[in-house]
Amino acid sequence: MSNPADAEPPVPAAPGNAHLPRGFTDDPSASVAEGFARPSVAERTERGRSIRAQQPRRTWADWAPAADRPDPVGVLEAQIPSRLQALIPERHRRMLASPFAFYRGGAAIMAGDLGAATNAGLAVQACGDAHLANFGMFGSPERALVFDLNDFDETHPGPFEWDVVRLAVSAVLLGRDRGWDTTIQDRLVDAAVRTYRTATRDFAQMSNVDIWYSRLTVEEIEQHEADDSDRRRIERAAAKARANDLHRAVEKFTEVVDGRRRFRDDPPLLHRIDSFYEGADRDRLREGIRTFFLSYLQTLPSDVQVLMSHYRLLDEALKVVGVGSVGTRCFVALGEGRDDQDLYILQIKEAQQSVLAPYWPGPLGAESRTEGQRVVDGQRIMQAASDPLLGWARMGHHDYYLRQFRDMKGSVDLTRIRVEEAEHYLARCGWTLARAHARSGDVVAIAGYLGAGDVFDRSVGQFSRTYADLVERDYEAFAAAASSGRIEVAPEPAA
């Protein structure tokens, strides 16, 4: 998946400043042309190795929750005031589906646990929510189908381990959800963490540019898949992703009424603005969305501004998405170009503070960024091929980012995945996460810290089992809160 090169590896980014482009120091006034002191590859490798004395790689195996750990249900309740109150019961319903669904919606709970733990201090631009369901396929600007991280709502600088262990725990929970025994669960964790470590070592030998352009296409995945049945499954998933395009979204989510194309009203997933908001609130929102677009255009490259200037806004709706995101303000906007056959659907998604922010310093200049820009910056840093329409703006008192809606987006069906296919999938996630981290952090130092052996792998494996047990206890507490009426839960939708 990666080809080592002879060129020098990337310049390290200091903890808390992992967002900085390569070649820049912590001093934004410094010039690349003037040059600056840079440690050698050997020095950076030794730096990583030396950290083991203060933060042994086996430390994760000994992790235990803090004695004063906050009530997990209380952590989730603290998020309620900032969200749309009418949608909170739906969020709770989705999280009650399983311990894995609860884990997906409870990123803030784990962030608190990780923030209280020690780490190696090797910062990267972290995803913040790197569980296995936040990886998948989507279309690149060149219309190739690529495999990458696809959710960045929680992205923020942070220790590389935080993403690795969140991925590893999700592997255990997947195995338990499927009814697989502990041996298989361990195999899934090992596939993710071992591949992360070996891929990091490969990236540490590569040039900055080679790392930046590394990516994993679905065609490459198919070529490396030896099992014919698994290859056919990937081909079917890829075909489904390619069909999950704009035209299908228009057909599914819109209708023509009195000669005018508009969004359907299909609660609880899709709400027309007219049905969800009333009077002055409705009028302010519509005006706010139109003003939003004017500001959003200014965050795009000039050529994309020209493209988007050829579209006019037809309609808007409230769209419920995800598990943890339910309750945040998320809209879809329908645009028309040259005629009624040239349509576009864009997603406007609210960006709140990252769950990692209370536990790790923000990047230089973060105080002047909106949360929408934080998400966009993080996605552009971590992804190998980002959406060209990605941008941000503020609407009223809330921050948002905008992206294409369902642009060849696809995922593996985790409810039907076989053991061997799951191992391969977790390995792809591990490689992808290593590549994303190598674009911003000191990959040479991280590789030096991880080493060639499996000490870190086994340590994270033990942590994953311990933490998955904790997730299940938290889930039981959440279910008890639902049963007692402490939290409100929406009824199951009609079949």
pLDDT score, position 35 = 56
Per residue in 216-270, pLDDT (tens digit) is 988 888 777 666 676 777 777 777 777 777 888 899 999 999 999 999 999 888 9
- Would you call 161 exposed, middle or buried from its count of C-beta atoms within 10 A (0-12, 13-18, 19+)? buried
Residue 96 backbone phi and psi in degrees, to 5:
-80, -5
DSSP string computed for 308-364: HTT-EEEEEEEE--SSTTBTB-EEEEEEE-SSTTSEEEEEEEE----TTGGGSPPPT
**Mean per-residue pLDDT, 146-156:** 94
133, part of any domain:
yes
Given a cut of 80, whether residue 320 has pLDDT beyond it is: yes
pLDDT score, position 6 = 33
| 129: Cβ contacts below 8 Å, ≥ 6 apart | 107, 151, 153, 154, 166, 324, 355
pLDDT score, position 23 = 30
Cα separation, 66 vs 72, in Å, equals: 13
Query: 232 or 152: which carries more pLDDT confidence?
Result: 152
What is the crossing angle of helices 182-203 and 455-484, to 10°? 130
Given a cut of 60, whether residue 125 has pLDDT beyond it is: yes
* DSSP β-bridge partners for residue 157: 125
Same domain, 278 and 348: yes
Cα separation, 21 vs 13, in Å, equals: 9
Given a cut of 60, whether residue 5 has pLDDT beyond it is: no
17, part of any domain:
no
pLDDT score, position 406 = 76
**Mean per-residue pLDDT, 187-205:** 98
Same domain, 322 and 426: no
Given a cut of 80, whether residue 183 has pLDDT beyond it is: yes
Given a cut of 70, whether residue 22 has pLDDT beyond it is: no
Among 404, 426, 450, residue at a domain's last position: 404
Q: Which of 77-81, 107-111, 330-334, 411-415 has the lowest mean pLDDT?
A: 411-415
Report the chain's C-alpha Rg in angstroms: 23
Among 348, 373, 404, residue at a domain's last position: 404
The number of C-alpha atoms within 13 Å of 389 and in the hemisphere containing its C-beta is: 18
Given a cut of 50, whether residue 1 has pLDDT beyond it is: no
* DSSP tag of 147: E
126, part of any domain:
yes
268, part of any domain:
yes
Cα separation, 126 vs 354, in Å, equals: 11
170, part of any domain:
yes
Percent of the chain residues past pLDDT 90, beyond the cut = 69
Same domain, 156 and 75: yes
Given a cut of 90, whether residue 80 has pLDDT beyond it is: yes
Mark residue 217 as left, alpha or beta (left: phi above 0; alpha: psi -120 to 50; beta: remaining). Answer: beta
Same domain, 225 and 251: no
Same domain, 340 and 389: yes
Task: Report the chain's mean pLDDT, rounded to a whole number.
Answer: 88
Among 404, 428, 461, residue at a domain's last position: 404
**Overall number of domains in the chain:** 2
What pLDDT band is residue 128 in, cutting at 50, 70 and 90?
Answer: very high
Residue 65 backbone phi and psi in degrees, to 5:
-65, 145
| 318: Cβ contacts below 8 Å, ≥ 6 apart | 270, 271, 272, 273, 276, 329, 330, 331
Same domain, 251 and 231: no
Cα separation, 237 vs 218, in Å, equals: 10
Residue 101 structural domain: 41-240+417-484
Same domain, 304 and 435: no
99, part of any domain:
yes
Same domain, 391 and 296: yes
**The tokens of 275 are what?**
């049905």
273, part of any domain:
yes
Cα separation of the two ends of the chain: 43
Read off the amino acid at residue 2.
S
Given a cut of 70, whether residue 274 has pLDDT beyond it is: yes
Read off the amino acid at residue 254.
T
Q: Tokens 């966009």 identify what position?
A: 376
Same domain, 119 and 197: yes
Cα separation, 317 vs 249, in Å, equals: 14
18, part of any domain:
no
Same domain, 56 and 114: yes
| 464: Cβ contacts below 8 Å, ≥ 6 apart | 165, 168, 169, 171, 172, 189
Same domain, 293 and 229: no
Same domain, 209 and 328: no
